[in-house]
Each structure stands twice: as C-alpha cells, then as structure tokens.
A and B are shown apart, each in its own frame.
Chain A
Amino acid sequence: MSLRIDHLSVTYGTTQAIYDLALGVENGERFAIMGSSGSGKSSLLRSIAGLIPIDSGSITIDGSDMTATPAHRRPVGLMFQDYALFPHMTVAENIGYGLRMEGMPSKARDIRSRELLSLVGLDGFAGRKPSTLSGGEQQRVALARTLAPEPSMVLLDEPLGSLDISLRESLLAETREILDSVKATSMYVTHDRGEAFSFCDRMAIMHQGRLLRVGTPDEIWREPRSEFVARAIGQTNLIPMDFISHGESGLGFVPRDAIRVHRHGRHTGTVVASRFEDGAHVATVGFRNDTEELEMAIASKADPGSQLDFDIDADRVIHVSADKV
C-alpha cells in the first residue's frame, strides 16, 4: 500500500499540467496535496487513477509498475468532488458496484454494502436513491463506495468541495477516522489549507505543475522556504528580515500574537485600516513610508492615520526565505 511517482509529466493540449514530478506516499499514510485551481493537483490524482494519459514517467503502486495499466485494473479508489454517484442505482447498488466488478455474488455484496453503510453512519439507507440524499449523505455514500473494493490507495478529489462550510469540519474528521479505521493509504487533494493541515500526516504544496514543498504540516510551517509556500499556508504577515535584525536578508513571517502594541514600543507605524475579527480589533499598520505592512491585534478601534507603537518578539519570527521570491 505505497505509492511511488517518478519523473511524471502530463500535458493538456498545449499546456503542461505536471512537470517532472516525483513523490512517494508510504503505507497507511494520509497525504494531502494543496494547490489552487490550475495547479495540476487534480491532474496528478487523475493520472494516478489512470484516467488521463501521461507523457512520461512512472507510477508504481505496492512495488508494481502501473504506468501502462488501464484505470479499471489499478488498485486505486477515487472519490470525486461531485461524488459521481450512479443516479439509476440505489445506495447499496452504488456501494456494491466495485464488488460486482470483482465478481462477488450479490448476497455477499449486500452484506458488505451494509457493513460499509454502518461504517459511514448511514444504516438503513441501502434502498435509497442518491437523488434523495443530502450533500453530506451523498459524500458518505461516495466514500463507502470508494472503500468497498478495499483499494490499495484511496484518492480524494476535493471531497468536501461541494458542501456547506458548517458541515465540512465534522465530515473531515469523520472521513479521517473512517480512513484510519480501515488502515487506508490515502491522498487528499484540496485548495483549503485548513482541510489539508487537519487531514494529513504529510502534505505537498503544488503550484504550476510542480511540488514546491513536501513535508509534515509542522515542518512546512516552521520552514516554508519560499514566499509562495508561506502565503499558501496562511503566513501572510510578512516583512523584510532586516527590519527585525540588521543585516539579515529575505522575508520573515510575524505571527500576530508575536506583536505587542504599547506606548513605548520600539517601532512606530501608521494605521491604514482597522477591522473587527474573531473577537478582537485588528489594525493594518504601515511603516517605512508605508512600503511595508503588518497586521496586529489592538485593544480598541483605531482611526486610520493615527500613530501606533509596537514591539516584535524576534524569537518567534519565522524566517521564510533567503530573498523575496
């Protein structure tokens, strides 16, 4: 249950979706790929599933080369963003479809479908048609259907993308638990950093067909290595490092709570704007003739144009990159 990708390149017409990509996912690992639309993350998933042709490179699953294997013979399950439930089949028939393709007799299929339904918390839904289900229920059926044939590798393509925000958090935790309970190796594609962080053991940030950074969320957070990765994972409070200690080059990320506003602060800035967010007032403060900006928590609403003094806890600043990328 491991995946190895080497020198993978994929083109769509004249645009190259994936450039010479290498990646390994270990047995039982939950891996996330985070990227904006057009980054090539879906293409990566679809080439692993065998749904799109690749130009060069190889895809190896559990030690066997899958590059030339057609989609239906790869030990890979793919869960689609829109779930792609078969509308003419019942929930149980949908879940049993992969088993039917393996030639499992219908009685055994029924039993297995019911097991999976109870795994995803949908006991009693066997006879329903997909169109009668809510979005969250459809998501769970799709997950059960993907897991039914016990694939070596579970691929999830923005599996929460079409759900309400309020549902996403609980379903994400649930999906995680279910994948762990069947000891699945999985790859989760999303544009949402929160989902990626809370889902995965390890993750990659993808941009323009390349993996910019691969590691655990913690590693990547502490060492983003480029401005792009820093911004992608939510490190937006960026300032030049020499602002904090003279002579240092590149950019630094300043966590909001590493900034303390007080009358005798070492730095002075001008309030550009202020807003109320998550129970606190947040001011955008410009300094160095407004060429740089930082966001910081303030005690009460500040008027634009007013002066503000603050200190930065230098130990907590994360050195993002050697230079501005």
Chain B
Amino acid sequence: MDRNRTLIARSPFGRFGTAAIVAVPTLFLGYFFVYPVVAITARGLTPEGVFTPSVFIDVVSSASLQGVAAFTLWQAVLSTLLTLLMGLPAAWVFARFSFPGRRLLRAATLVPFVLPTLVVGTAFLTLVGPKGVSGVDLTGTLSIILIAHVFYNYAIVVRGVGAYWERIDPALEDAARSLGASRWRTFTTVTLPLLRPAIASTSALVFLFSFTSFGVVLLLGDISHSTIEVEIWRQTTAYLRLDIASTLAVLQLIGVGAILAMYGHYQRRTAIQIAHNTKPPPRPTTASDRLAVGVVLSGTALLLGLPLIVLVGRSFIDPDSSIGLANYANLLSLPNQSAAFVQPSEAILNSLGFAVVATAVAVLIGVLASAALSYSRRRVARSFDLFVMLPLGTSAVTIGFGFLVALGWPIDLRTSLVLIPIAHALVAIPFVVRTASPSMGSVQHHLREAAATLGARPTVAWWTIDLRLVARSILVGAAFAFAISMGEFGATSFITRPDSPTIPIAIFRLLGRPGSSPFGAAVAMSVLLMGITGIAVFVIDSLRAPQAGDL
C-alpha cells in the first residue's frame, strides 16, 4: 500500500508549522554557514572587490601550494586505504563473532572517533614525538600522519561497515557455500558485493576527514607535510594573506563537495534493506576463526590503546622526571609567563560553559532539522538533508575563517564570545541530525494512526509518541554535541579571544611553550579532555538502542 497517500503521515504541524520548522534551521545555517562560505568564495575570487584572477592563478601555479595540495590528496588516499586494510578485518570480527567483552570493545572503538584532535596529537607526541617515550621522533613524517589518521578513522570503518555486515543474513553466505563456493569465493562473490555500498560510503567519509585533517597535521606535520586546511590557517594567522587563504578555501570546498556527493550517493544505497538479520552472531569455533579473532582484537587493542595508555602514563611523570601529580597540580598554578597567559583551570571552565550552550543550540536546531527532514516531501527532504549535512563536510577551519571574514554584518559578531558555541554547534548539528532523524523517520506510521484513532490531535500525537520515542536518540545527539564542543579546535582557533581559551586552545598554546612543565600540563589537560569525551562516549553507547544504526 502506498504509505504516502494518507492523512496522517504528513507533518503533524500543518503547512505553516512545517514551514516554520524548515525555516528556523535554514535561517540559522544560512547566516552562520552559507553566508560565511559565500563570503569566503567571493573574497577568494574578488580580493580587491573585482574579479582578479591573478591571486587564483598565483595560488594554482605556486609550487609550494601545489605541493600542499598534492600532499593533501596523497595522504588522504593512503590514509583511506590503510584504514580500510586495518578496519575491514575488525568489522568482520565484530559483525560475525560473539566473544566476551564484545560490547565494551565496540564501544571503545568509538573513543578515538570522538576524541579531540588535540588529544590524539598530544598522545602521539608523547609516544613518538621529540619528547616521546619511545625515543623515536616521527614528527614531520608521512607515516605518523597516516598512523594518526588510521587511529582516528578506524571506528568509522569498524562501526559503519560492521553494522551493515551484521545485518547481512549469514544464510546468504551459507547458501553460497552449499552451492560449492569456497570461503574466499563466497566473500568475493556474495559478501563483498553486498558490502560495497557500505565500504564506499565509509571510505568517502574517511577520505573526507583525512582530506580536511587539521589538528593532527598541525601538531605532527611540518611545512612539507601540510594539508590545505593547515595552510589556510597558516596563511591567515602567520602571513595575514586572507586572499590566498580564501582561494585555498574555495579549492577545498570544491573537493569536499565532490566527496560529499559521492558519500551521499552511496549512503542512499546502504539505506536499501537487504535480508534482515537480528540473530546474535556465534562464538568462533574453529581454531582458525579463533586465531583470526584473537589477532584482530589484539591488533585493535594495540592500535587504539597504546597511544592513549602512553598519554595517561606520561601525565603522571612530573617535570622533574619523578612520578606524581605535579602536571595536574600545574593546571591550577602554572607560572605566569606572559600578560596574555590564562590559567588552564580557567580554560576548563570556559570549555564547559561553551559546551553547554553549543549543545543546547545544536539540539534545538538539529531536532528542528530532523523534524523538517521527516515531515517534508521526499524530494525536498533529500536536498534539505544534503544542506544540513554540509557543515559535516566543510572543514572546521573554513567555518572559523568564514566567521572571521563574514560576520561583521549586520552587527559585528566577530569579537563576540557567542561565536564559539555557535561554531561548535555548527559542527555538531550534523551529528544530532544523523542520530535523531533516522529514528524520527522510523517511528512507525501505524503508531501515529493509532494515536489519531484514539483521539489524539496530530500535534499531540507527535508530542506524546514521536518525541518520546526519539528522546534517546536526541540524548545521543546531545552527548555527541557536548563531546564535539569540548574538543573542537579548528574553528575555535580562528575565533577564540586570547583571554578566553578553550581546553584544546590551551593545550595548543601549552605545547607551543618551551620547557617540560607546559608540556606536562598539556598532557595532563589532554587526559582530562579524554576523560570527558570518554564519559560522553559511554553515555552515547549506553543510550543507543541495540538495533539502531551507526553513523
């Protein structure tokens, strides 16, 4: 039966209510996202008020900038391939086998994903940095950037592909086996083709995140190992070349747009439901299965655990090389070295304040946007979906830079502290939408009909049924938003004021100061930030309904 043809399925808010629900997120994103991006683009193409291709040509023909672009692409390709190579076996193990601690480990894979870049960067510095415990300094090499990107994006592959893999009915593979296919042939002829859309969409996401990588590359790379993202920052803050930065941002936007379109294309294909499998997977029984599970799990633990364990361990090594809590004590009373210096403890309070506001804004706009997605017609919804997801693809640096370029009009917001939570909310909104809108869309149409036949007005039905059913997902989105706000670095680095740093900004400043006390304090602060995001992850995972989809 054609479910569209009903009096109930359409928006419960009537034509004007729905228009308002579409309008609020549209205006918000229009002013705080589209307008700045357009302003950057205009500035990149017309640096002196008129179209002057010279800057554009300068940028495109500059050997060093060409190098940056080439390196950005190259490392993104390598990072994606490497992440797939490492992540797919883990996706298989998590999808196809039960083992003790499976749930916990799966939740743990989410930790790096929401871990702030500055924490990841600092963790790798404590491991393989100039003051690293391994004694090997890998900073300024391609390999450390690749490892960090794998660390970061591993969860996307494991969870994204794994969740999809789990839903593929093992009976399909059994059928292939019974028709004479070997294990490998079964994989290549049945499993892999079924997985292809999931692999493609997660690859696009990993590529995107590596392509626009900022904090990790800023901390671990150097001039010759730099992404466009870092270069935009450098051109703006170090050389004050806003024209070059704008041009770079435009080039990057074009690349991101292409990747997002690809992602969206495959994302829609994964939405096609194949055989639905809800049975829990079996324990590994054969010796080879057990070996495979063991190898994959210990590899995962090593990859994800080692940098974080070293980070935590390093935080207890005092500046005088003894073991203690001096680094944490220093957070409260670091010697004041300059007039602009702000105590780390203040940064923590700033971050918490910003995060609360950012979460509220992201949830409000995200829930409205999800409602708009669920209750508007399919074609409208599709383009609106892309629109709402754009901030996810747009680099944080572009957002921060855009605020700086554009938000002097109609009132000058550029020095206002309110920009920081708004920038954070922009980054977080896609996450809120991604967690809330599927469950809002999947509220069974019958339930709303049942409510109607029991006498509930459409708005009452929405309030008593839909909203209650998606409350968990909204909380998940809120936890994501909080974690994102606590850790956001790229956009904040443009719009922060010297006297009100956030935790990541404070870590970055500490890392830039000489001596082992600031480094120790940076490490301690990273551990704190990791703890906060760890709690957020725990909240997210315990709230997430068992069968709900992953990002």
Residues of B within 8 A of A146 (CB): 453-454
- Tell me, yes or no, whether B411 is within 8 Å of chain A by CB: no
Contact flags B441-483 to A (C-beta < 8 A → 1, else 0): 0001011011111111110110011001100000000000000
With A70-B7, A80-B446, A97-B451 as known contacts, state yes or no: A86 contacts B465, CB within 8 Å: yes
- A87 partner, pick from B8, B458, B469, beta carbons under 8 A: B469
Could you tell me if A78 and B456 are in contact, using CB atoms closer than 8 angstroms?
A: no
Q: Which of A49, A51, A73 has most chain B Cβ within 10 Å?
A: A51
- Tell me, yes or no, whether A76 is within 8 Å of chain B by CB: yes
Could you tell me if B469 and A71 are in contact, using CB atoms closer than 8 angstroms?
A: no
Could you tell me if B449 and A78 are in contact, using CB atoms closer than 8 angstroms?
A: yes
Could you tell me if B2 and A12 are in contact, using CB atoms closer than 8 angstroms?
A: yes
Q: How far is the CA of A84 from the CA of B8 in the complex (A)?
A: 14
Interface residues of A in 63-100 (CB under 8 A from B): 70-74, 76-78, 80, 82, 84, 86-89, 97-98
- Tell me, yes or no, whether B279 is within 8 Å of chain A by CB: no
Q: How far is the CA of A51 from the CA of B5 in the complex (A)?
A: 9
Could you tell me if B450 and A78 are in contact, using CB atoms closer than 8 angstroms?
A: yes
With A72-B458, A84-B446 as known contacts, state yes or no: A49 contacts B5, CB within 8 Å: no
Q: How far is the CA of A90 from the CA of B217 in the complex (A)?
A: 52
- Tell me, yes or no, whether B1 is within 8 Å of chain A by CB: yes
- A50 partner, pick from B2, B7, B465, B469, beta carbons under 8 A: B7
Main secondary structure of the interface of B (DSSP, over half): helix
Closest-by-CB residue of A relative to B447 is A84
- Tell me, yes or no, whether A53 is within 8 Å of chain B by CB: yes
Residues of B within 8 A of A42 (CB): 1
With A42-B1, A72-B458, A84-B444 as known contacts, state yes or no: A77 contacts B453, CB within 8 Å: yes
Q: How far is the CA of A291 from the CA of B310 in the complex (A)?
A: 87
Could you tell me if B454 and A13 are in contact, using CB atoms closer than 8 angstroms?
A: no
Could you tell me if A71 and B5 are in contact, using CB atoms closer than 8 angstroms?
A: no
- Tell me, yes or no, whether B6 is within 8 Å of chain A by CB: yes
Residues of B within 8 A of A49 (CB): 449, 452-453
Q: How far is the CA of A82 from the CA of B444 in the complex (A)?
A: 11
Within the complex, what minimum Cβ distance (angstroms) separates B464 from chain A? 8
Closest-by-CB residue of A relative to B455 is A101
Within the complex, what minimum Cβ distance (angstroms) separates A196 from chain B? 21
Could you tell me if A51 and B456 are in contact, using CB atoms closer than 8 angstroms?
A: no
Q: How far is the CA of A52 from the CA of B452 in the complex (A)?
A: 12
Residues of B within 8 A of A82 (CB): 444, 446
Residues of B within 8 A of A43 (CB): 1
Contact flags B94-137 to A (C-beta < 8 A → 1, else 0): 00000000000000000000000000000000000000000000
With A13-B5, A53-B7 as known contacts, state yes or no: A71 contacts B450, CB within 8 Å: no
Q: Which of A78, A145, A148 has most chain B Cβ within 10 Å?
A: A78
Q: How far is the CA of A98 from the CA of B457 in the complex (A)?
A: 11
Could you tell me if B447 and A86 are in contact, using CB atoms closer than 8 angstroms?
A: yes
Contact flags B331-359 to A (C-beta < 8 A → 1, else 0): 00000000000000000000000000000
Residues of B within 8 A of A252 (CB): none
Within the complex, what minimum Cβ distance (angstroms) separates B276 from chain A? 16
Besides A70-B7, A71-B7, A89-B468, 7 more A-B contacts (Cβ < 8 Å) are A49-B452, A50-B7, A51-B449, A53-B5, A71-B8, A86-B451, A101-B460
Q: List 28 A-B contacts (CB under 8 A).
A: A12-B2, A13-B5, A46-B6, A46-B449, A51-B7, A51-B449, A71-B7, A72-B452, A72-B455, A72-B460, A72-B461, A73-B455, A77-B454, A78-B453, A80-B450, A84-B447, A84-B449, A86-B447, A87-B469, A88-B468, A88-B469, A89-B468, A101-B455, A102-B455, A145-B450, A145-B454, A146-B453, A149-B454
